Amino acid sequence: GAGVSQSPRYKVAKRGQDVALRCDPISGHVSLFWYQQALGQGPEFLTYFQNEAQLDKSGLPSDRFFAERPEGSVSTLKIQRTQQEDSAVYLCASSLVSPSYGYTFGSGTRLTVV
22 lies in the site for other proteins, by CB under 8 A: no
DSSP summary character for residue 100: G
80 lies in the site for other proteins, by CB under 8 A: no
Quick one: which of 12, 52, 55, 114 contacts other proteins (CB under 8 A)?
55
> Candidates 18-26, 31-39, 60-68, 69-77 — which segment interacts with other proteins by CB under 8 A?
31-39
Phi-psi region of 14 (alpha: psi -120 to 50; beta: other; left: phi over 0): beta
Report the alpha-carbon angle 112-47-87, nearest 5: 10
Give the residue with the Cβ less far from other proteins, 35 or 65: 35
98 lies in the site for other proteins, by CB under 8 A: yes
Give the residue with the Cβ less far from other proteins, 80 or 103: 103
Phi first, then psi, for residue 95 (nearest 5°) are -160, 165
Beta bridge partners of residue 21, listed in sequence order = 77
Q: Give the E-state strand segments of 5-62 in sequence order.
A: 5-7, 10-13, 19-24, 31-37, 44-50, 53-56
28 lies in the site for other proteins, by CB under 8 A: no
Residues at the interface with other proteins (CB under 8 A): 4, 31, 33, 35, 40-45, 48, 50, 55-56, 91, 93, 95, 97-100, 102-108, 110
